[in-house]
Amino acid sequence: MNIVILAAGQGKRMRSSLPKVLHPVAGQPMLAHVIAAARAACTDVANITIVVGHGAAVVQEAFPEAQGLHFVLQEPQLGTGHAVMQAVPHLDDASPTLVLYGDVPLITAGTLRQLLAAAGRDVGVLTVRLADPTGYGRVVRDEHGDVVRIVEQKDASPAEQAIDEVNTGIVVVPTAQLKAWLKTLSNDNAQGEYYLTDVIARAVHDGVRVIGVDSAEIDETLGVNSKEQLAVVERIAQRRVAAALMDAGVTLADPARIDVRGELVTGTDVFIDVGCVFEGRVVLGDGVRVGAYCVLRNCSFGAATELLPFTYVEDSSVGAGARLGPFSRLRPGNRLDDAVHVGNFVEIKASTIGRGSKANHLSYVGDATVGCDVNIGAGTITANYDGANKHPTVIGDGASIGSNAVLVAPVSIGAGATIGGGSTIAKDAPEGKLTVARARQVTLDKWQRPVKQKKG
């Protein structure tokens, strides 16, 4: 199977410097969704040719490691037929050609398989019926139900404009014949463009049957030409994700208030509250509970871990039975073991924290290795940055760090050590002992508080 994806449009109504097909839906460029659907629908894809134009270099850079993709430039843009002409050198005559659009991101593999099966060795056209077909090419069928031509809005007669079945632009055509028909296209029309739809008339003229497959899912055929349409498509995509999660057993407090912008892998009995955002690949183990308005990016959580509201986790792994939040932040590079507690307004970065350790309040732990069953008191920070370089802090098993302590890295706190509250520790503290480093408390008996002087 040859796949051609048209992605050359400028998308002026998007009001953006980003090429239209790279605008994200559910965390992935629209074009990526179309590529994935094509590959899932066709197990024998010979190649995928992507026709680019405006922002061509940017589009190619967005897929640097994609296998089996060929990019061809359409310059200038003279219509859909002209776009497919640019792909001709990459098309294998022995396989049919499926034409898709990079700004129609909701198309599914199932619908494409239905189209391919119905077309067989003939021409297949995916159509849809709209209550208001204004602006779309109308599908004209004969008395047998076969498609005889597709008429663009500007070229349609009043009778043809009354037809509610429209062309989605998605077609499958025998390749050798497609190449021949493309050579006969003319731009003698209201827009001065070469229409791919004119291939349908050529097929009918040559006695090739054109099968119209009416899509039951209007949403799958929606194109995106504006930010408003992008928002509509995004909500549809998120509804699909929410439905799939619930089918898998996830409890969603409100399916309309979840955003998955990547891959969300869930175990059994997972609960997700409202307003949560999942980006990249996120794994939630059995029984994980995610509180309201959490943002999770490229991270994993073991069974029965609880995330209280407004927790932010990025590029980190958390074990089972842990508790994070509310208002906790895990920056990239953390590995938290089972039963770790990270409380409100605690920030952790590039650190390993052992089983059962706790940092419950207002602390910063960075570039640290924390053992098991460590208690980090409120207001504690690891001073890991000297203005030029980062330095490590090591805290042994069972250590207790008093409130408002500053651990000046590089520094090591021995197992079972206790650090007195308010201490600034700049040297290693030994195992099993109390270490205090703070100024001696002094009371000045004769000191008097200043009195505010009255103005003139």
Higher pLDDT, 136 or 393: 393
Q: Which residue has the tokens 């077609």?
A: 171
Q: What average pLDDT score do residues 67-80 get? A: 90
Tokens of 281: 């690949």
At 400 the three-state DSSP class reads strand
Q: What is the phi/psi pair of residue 230, to 5°?
A: -60, -40
Distance CA 38, CA 397 (A): 53
Under 8 Å between Cβ of 26 and 261: yes
The confidence score (pLDDT) of residue 244 equals: 97
Tokens of 146: 């076969």
Furthest-apart CA pair in the chain: how many Å?
A: 111
The confidence score (pLDDT) of residue 380 equals: 98
pLDDT greater than 80 at residue 160: yes
Q: How confident is the model at residue 188 (pLDDT cuts 50, 70, 90)?
A: confident
Which residues 6+ apart lie within 8 Å of 305 measured at CB? 285, 288, 289, 318, 319, 320, 321, 322, 323, 324
DSSP of 25-48: ETTEEHHHHHHHHHHHH-TT--EE
Q: What average pLDDT score do residues 48-59 get? A: 95
pLDDT greater than 90 at residue 441: no
The confidence score (pLDDT) of residue 330 equals: 98
pLDDT greater than 80 at residue 148: yes
Helices (H), 163-217: 175-182, 198-205
Q: What average pLDDT score do residues 253-263 get? A: 97
The confidence score (pLDDT) of residue 216 equals: 84
For 395-416, the pLDDT digits (tens) are: 999 999 999 999 999 999 999 9
pLDDT greater than 90 at residue 155: no
pLDDT greater than 90 at residue 30: yes
Q: What average pLDDT score do residues 371-389 get? A: 96
* Closest listed residue to residue 366, CA positions, set 413, 317, 412, 332: 332
* Closest listed residue to residue 352, CA positions, set 321, 314, 316: 316
The confidence score (pLDDT) of residue 197 equals: 86
Give the burial string for 219-258 (b: 16+ CB within 10 Å, else e). Answer: bbbbbbeeeeebeebbebbbeebbeebeeeebebeebebb
Helices (H), 91-219: 109-119, 158-161, 175-182, 198-205
The confidence score (pLDDT) of residue 49 equals: 96
Which residues 6+ apart lie within 8 Å of 438 measured at CB? 420, 422, 423, 424
- Give, to the nearest 10 degrees, the angle between helix 198-205 and helix 175-182: 110
Q: What average pLDDT score do residues 256-273 get? A: 98
User: What residue type is assigned to position 343 of the chain?
Assistant: G
The confidence score (pLDDT) of residue 226 equals: 96
Domain coordinates in residue numbering, the chain: 2-221, 227-435
pLDDT greater than 80 at residue 154: yes
The confidence score (pLDDT) of residue 189 equals: 78
The CATH superfamily label for domain 2-221 reads: Spore Coat Polysaccharide Biosynthesis Protein SpsA; Chain A (3.90.550.10)
**Mean pLDDT over the full length of the chain:** 95
pLDDT greater than 90 at residue 36: yes
The confidence score (pLDDT) of residue 357 equals: 98
Report in angstroms the alpha-carbon separations of 330 from 99, 106, 219, 421. 44, 33, 38, 24
Greatest mean pLDDT among 122-136, 189-203, 359-373 lies in 359-373
The confidence score (pLDDT) of residue 152 equals: 83
Q: What average pLDDT score do residues 153-165 get? A: 91
Distance CA 221, CA 168 (A): 6
* Closest listed residue to residue 358, CA positions, set 336, 342, 345: 342
Q: How confident is the model at residue 10 (pLDDT cuts 50, 70, 90)?
A: confident
The confidence score (pLDDT) of residue 45 equals: 77
The confidence score (pLDDT) of residue 43 equals: 80
The percent of residues above 90 in pLDDT, for the chain, comes to: 87
Give the CB-side neighbour count of residue 349, counting CA atoms within 13 A. Answer: 14
Under 8 Å between Cβ of 34 and 63: no
The confidence score (pLDDT) of residue 70 equals: 92
The confidence score (pLDDT) of residue 14 equals: 93
CATH number for 227-435 (one of 1.10.3720.10, 2.160.10.10, 3.10.20.30, 3.40.50.12280): it is: 2.160.10.10
DSSP 120: T
Distance CA 43, CA 24 (A): 26
Q: What average pLDDT score do residues 275-279 get? A: 98
The confidence score (pLDDT) of residue 207 equals: 92
- Give the active site residues: 361
To which H or E segment does residue 248 belong?
Answer: none
